[in-house]
Structure 1
Amino acid sequence: MAEFDGKVALVTGGFSGIGGATARVLSARGATVVAAGIPPKGAYEELPPGVERVDVDVTDESATARLVTQVVAAHGGLDILVAAAGIQRYGIAAETSSDEWNEVLAVNVTGAFHAVKHALPHLRARGAGSIVIVSSVQAFVTQAAVAAYTTSKGALNALARSIAIDEAKNGVRANAVCPASVDTPMLRASARAFSDGSDRGTQELVESWGRMHPLGRVARPDEVAEAIAFLAGDRASFITGISLPVDGGLLANAAVVLPG
């Protein structure tokens, strides 16, 4: 049997990037997967034929509740929730508008909360379930000018810990994954904005960011998806409440460089 045969998984932010890669990995290993998110401005990223795609804005609690009800009604239950919806905005605290702050917190934190809140009764009903929240290394360390974003990621790690403690008695595990730079549409958009805007300039900046990681490159989305799949599955049955860096050694690397 495949690892996730008979399991039902909901992936928010599941149309592209880390969420899309996770939907593909879980589906390939036997899960029934529903990918949910905001319709892209361009074409949808390719997902396997077996992955169901549902348009939803996770900042809308009623819509998120309907999504979970729809998944359970169609597939008989829910075993795995991956909360991967997220946005990035730049700005220091003194210059971030309230609208920008609220937008980032609404998607990254409140959106995850909505999904968790409405998934939990169904995960409990299984007697065992797994929640994986996509956070960031910026929950631990912070680059310049990301006040709202880094705050949101710190909150997600705390949310995962809280769920882990509160739901252990119900057999539900909760963990966070904390990637460093990952080659996603969101990273590419940032690289385009901070370069000359050309394809070459964007690629050069992505490669430059990669060289800041000890492994010398940015991650692929599927590499993060592998960590998510591990935490979601039975191989991690005694792991709950952790925030797992998937960072190419970034957090292990001291900023001080010796001469010579």
Structure 2
Amino acid sequence: MEFSGRTALITGGATGIGLATARLLARGGATVALINHQESDLDAARKTLAGEGLDAIALVADVSDEASMTEAFQTLDARAGPLRMMVCSAAIQPFGTVEAMAPAEWDRVQSINLNGAYLASHLAVPRMRAAGGGAIVHLASVQATATQARIAAYSTSKAAILGLVRAMAVDHAPDNIRVNAVSPGCIDAPMTRYSASQNAAPEDQDALVAHWGAAQPLGRPGRPDEVAEMIAFLLSDKASFCSGADYKVDGGLLAKLGVVLPD
């Protein structure tokens, strides 16, 4: 896909799906900027991309903090062309029921996963409007539609992302801004590895990730690059009539009923 002359911003872009998307967009000719709250992760991401002959602008920012995000966008304004594409993938997934999770932790999940997407959008929309339009992809999750146990805060935040996508698609269609969601299933990425670390001993974590992947009809965990392909399509001109929708990249997970038939 061709992205020459376009600037793309990716929150949570230093690892996992965000980094895989950055790689794909940069290969297509885009100027890519990555937002992450840890400078060490950004340095590692830039080094990885540089080893592949690609470059990225590194922006250290807390997606849940307005002043931090405003500064990051201003830095991007000074260092790159008009913003035309954005991917919001920054998120955390701590475990806990509404009873067990402390209010402060609940608020932290919403602040990063949902408010972070709002802040990035709040800052991106006027820039895209001034540039003549653009495309935004918010990372949701299959957990926005059906949920496993003990991730109430995460599931709530991702369900809200779907509402945000629909509202933005309607509100900003006159600005020539398309907005979509991508809902990954079990992807072998840092967040899934973190989940495994919270539920299994170190020696059992690979088996647990494989077990989770086996629950998907395709029989394996997905890869970050497989999700990135969908994101890149939605950002491209090939998706020029796609807006306000949720695209699942879940190996068929949500198509499957939990009914086991006898042999």
Aligned counterparts of 1:120 and 1:40: Cα–Cα separation in 2: 26
2:198 partner SS: helix
1:246 aligns with 2:245: no
Matches within 5 A, 1:45-56: 45=45, 46-48=48-50, 49-56=54-61
The structure 1 segments of at least 4 consecutive aligned residues displaced by more than 6 Å after TM superposition are 40-43
SS in 1 for 2:83: coil
> 141, 147, 152: which is aligned to 2:152?
147
Which whole-Å CA distance do the structure 2 matches of 1:140 and 1:47 have between them? Answer: 34
* Deviation (angstroms), 1:15: 0.3
TM-score by length of 1: 0.96
**Match for residue 162 of structure 1 among 157, 160, 167:** 167
Deviations 1:99-129 (Å, cap 9, x if unpaired)?
A: 1100100000001110000011111112220
Q: Distance in 2 between matches of 1:118 and 1:193?
A: 35
Shift of 1:30: 0.6
Partner in structure 2 of residue 70 of structure 1? 75
Query: What amino acid is the match of 1:94?
Result: E
1:26 maps to what in 2?
25
Q: CA deviation at 1:76?
A: 2.6
Mapped to 2, the partners of 1:39 and 1:230 lie a distance apart of 28
The CA deviation string for residues 26-49 of structure 1, in whole angstroms up to 9 with x for no partner, is 001110000111216677242344
Aligned counterpart, 2:85: 80
Distance of 1:167 and 1:104 partners within structure 2: 26
Matched residue SS, 2:186: coil
Q: What letter matches 1:138 in structure 2?
A: Q
1:197-219 deviations in Å (ceiling 9; x for gaps): 23xx1111111111100000111
Identity of aligned residues (%): 44
User: What are the equivalent positions in structure 2 for 1:204-243 lying under 5 Å apart?
Assistant: 204-243=207-246
CA contact 2:39–2:60 (8 Å) conserved in 1? no
Describe the shift of the 1:93–1:243 C-alpha distance in structure 2 as closer, same or farther (beyond 3 A): same
Does the Cα contact within 8 Å between 2:21 and 2:228 map onto a contact in 1?
Answer: yes
CA distance in 2, matches of 1:97, 1:41: 29
Letter of the 1:214 partner, please give it.
P
The alignment partner of 1:151 has SS state of helix
- Following the alignment from structure 2 to structure 1, what is the Cα–Cα distance between the partners of residues 193 and 34? 22
Aligned to 1:7: 6
Distance 2:81 2:65 in 1: 24
Instruction: Count how many residue pairs are aligned between Structure 1 and Structure 2.
Output: 257
1:36 and 2:29 matched: no
Q: CA RMSD in A?
A: 1.3
